[in-house]
Amino acid sequence: MPDSVFSWLVAGLGNPGSEYEYTPHNLGFLVIDRLAVRNGIKVVRKDCMALVGQGTMSGEKVLLAKPQTFMNVSGPSVHGLLVKNEIQPRQLLVVSDELDLPWRSLRIRPDGSAGGHRGLDSVIKSVGMQEFPRVRLGIHGGSRERDGARIVLGQFSRAQKLELDELLDYASQAVESIIAKGVEKSMTKFNRRAQGLNNEEE
């Protein structure tokens, strides 16, 4: 465990600005907001080009962050927070959307490549490693080339809005589980497909 006062930095990826607030690409931000409410943490202080808040989650001291540098250049902000707070990269947990997973699916992974996600790619390059856990929330599963930009930056559909609240709670529980019980146990419990919500992801 590092000398940092924080056990984890939980960073949700998204785009600042009201026009992006309720878009699929901002699911990372929305999960941070839900975690803040669930755990009584105010994410309002500006630090390292991010809005941050600190508090206790699952018995651990955590720093919640929403980088304000826009999605594709999230890395410098996240890296800055790690360095300033002496948090090891392995204690970084990133929450993001994932175009190649169906809406409402959730996948926890202990590490791995960015998989074409420019926000994750920026974090990996800035941190200098990809061995940190992440929670990815599916938003479509369709063709990135054909309609990717329209999907990630478009507004939630009426049906998605009805399901959003449950998804944010489920994702928040997954993050809290990772902090309390570790990545492997949380993968077993929370990884799920879009259809048949009790089924695990492969």
- Annotated catalytic residue, options 25, 79, 117, 140: 25
140 flagged as catalytic:
no
Alpha carbon separation from 56 to 21, 31, 50, 176 (Å, rounded): 26, 16, 19, 10
Whole-angstrom Cα distance, residue 112 to residue 99? 16
DSSP state of 192: B
Question: Of 69, 73, 64, 87, nearest to 5 (Cα)?
Answer: 87
What gap in Å lies between CA 26 and CA 67, rounded to an integer?
A: 11
Please report which residue ranges of 61-157 form alpha helices under DSSP H.
75-84, 118-127, 144-153
CA 17 to CA 117: how far, in whole Å?
20
The DSSP bridge pattern shows strands 106-109 and 8-12 to be: unpaired
Q: Catalogue the active-site residues.
A: 25
